[in-house]
Amino acid sequence: MSKVAFVFPGQGSQTVGMGKELAEKYSEVMGYFEKADKTLDTKLSQLIFEGPKEELTKTYNTQPALLTTSMAILDFFRKSGIQADFVAGHSLGEYTALVAAGVLSFEEGVIAVRKRGEFMEHAVPNGEGSMAAVLGLDRDPLSVVTKAVSEEGFPVSLANLNCPGQIVISGSREGVERAGVKAKEAGAKRVLPLEVSGPFHSSLMKPAAEQLREVLDGMEMKDAEMPVVINVTAQPVSSASEIKDKLIEQLYSPVQWEDSVTKMIDLGVDTFIEIGPGKVLSGLIKKIDKTVKTYAVSDEESAMAVMEALKEEKL
């Protein structure tokens, strides 16, 4: 029996105007943007629909903007009746997955990621941390590199294990630079610095994790209605208390995306539907396993096309 996973993108997938066309046409979709505005007491929807891009890209805006847009698109797509057997999200996208699975209410999800963005932004002074994508080097030799550099007093670690041959490293600016040089010496094809405002998913995020714990402690989290395959362990989890602990850990631990996708495939998933702006996750999933079906839903046209394709496959 075919199994379906809904997956939700993280930072980097945001674009000015995302969700706007659907929101203008469908009042229930617009309802999500209005709810986010009211919950955060700010004109987030205006920023999402009109920009400016520089403001939308600030992590404390990007995070609630992406969660809101992805949930609004999911609400529209759910009319198709297609159900997910599993949900997962990449980094920030994990929060969208948790709202989709009923662990957090939409309003609490928006507040949580707004706070998460603020804590991440302020955990490390601007310019002192960075991230870079390392292409063409496996995790084991790259781990040896980051460990050696960290032991020299320049913290750096694996942050996103995205797919074979694509791993993001994160840490102090000096640590990332040194690790980049050593990674090339070890056989990496390219090292690309990323435009981010901090060293996410590294040990330098531990102060932000403690602040996030206080916020999540004040929220009502329920057991998941469907298993959530979580970033930290790449395992399906349904228990609210375990999910909360893993959300704290997620801030300073690597995103095990490749292993998460492989785990879902092992559990019978052969269809992945990316819900939200862009096609980043669909691209990564294809690189992890070419045999599975991947779809991306970001607007009405793509939603209809996916519904049609899945109807033919009788999912």
The answer to whether 88 touches 70, Cβ cutoff 8 Å, is: no
* Options 13, 70, 91, 130, the catalytic residue: 91
Tell me, yes or no, if 91 is annotated catalytic: yes
Distance (Å, rounded) from C-alpha 209 to C-alpha 73?
29
User: 57: which 2 tokens?
Assistant: 């890209």
The answer to whether 261 touches 284, Cβ cutoff 8 Å, is: yes
SS3 helix, strand, coil % of the chain, rounded to 5? 50, 15, 30
DSSP element (H, E) containing 34 = helix 27-40
* Options 90, 150, 201, 260, the catalytic residue: 201
User: 285: which 2 tokens?
Assistant: 């999933």
The answer to whether 59 touches 120, Cβ cutoff 8 Å, is: yes
Q: What's the sign of the alpha-carbon dihedral 105, 259, 65, 212?
A: positive
Residue written as token pair 């403690």: 210
Tell me, yes or no, if 90 is annotated catalytic: no
At 256, give phi and psi (nearest 5°). Answer: -90, 65
Contacts of 89 (CB under 8 A, 6+ apart): 7, 8, 9, 10, 95, 96, 97, 98, 231
Which ranges of 124-172 does DSSP label H, i.e. alpha helix?
139-151
Distance (Å, rounded) from C-alpha 79 to C-alpha 65?
22
Query: Which residues are annotated as catalytic?
Result: 91, 201
